[in-house]
Amino acid sequence: MHEPETDPVCGMTIERGTAVSVEYHGVAYRFCDPACAETFRQDPARWVGDGSGAGFVHDHH
């Protein structure tokens, strides 16, 4: 079982198995639902700054 993660858009705690994933600069970010994923897609830098993902749980591919 994986540790819960936090949706970078809404701050909701999500389980990895139920999350919607979006890749940005080679990093997979996870979201609670498609609406938060779409909000992220429209302006990823707003949510993760320079794309480093600092402060967010993510996986490198």
If DSSP states are collapsed to H, E and C, what string results for the chain? Answer: CCCCEECCCCCCEECHHHCEEEEECCEEEEECCHHHHHHHHHCHHHHHCCCCCCCCCCEEC
Residue with tokens 């749980």: 57
How many domains are there within the chain?
A: 1
User: In this predicted structure, what is the pLDDT of residue 5?
Assistant: 86
pTM exceeding 0.85: no
At residue 54, what are phi and psi to the nearest 5 degrees? -55, 130
User: In this predicted structure, what is the pLDDT of residue 58?
Assistant: 44
Q: Tens of pLDDT along 17-61?
A: 778 999 999 999 999 999 999 999 999 999 987 655 444 444 433
User: In this predicted structure, what is the pLDDT of residue 2?
Assistant: 63
By residue range, what is the domain housing residue 23? 5-48
User: In this predicted structure, what is the pLDDT of residue 19?
Assistant: 86
Domain for residue 34, yes or no? yes
User: In this predicted structure, what is the pLDDT of residue 48?
Assistant: 86
Q: CATH number, domain at 42? A: 2.30.170
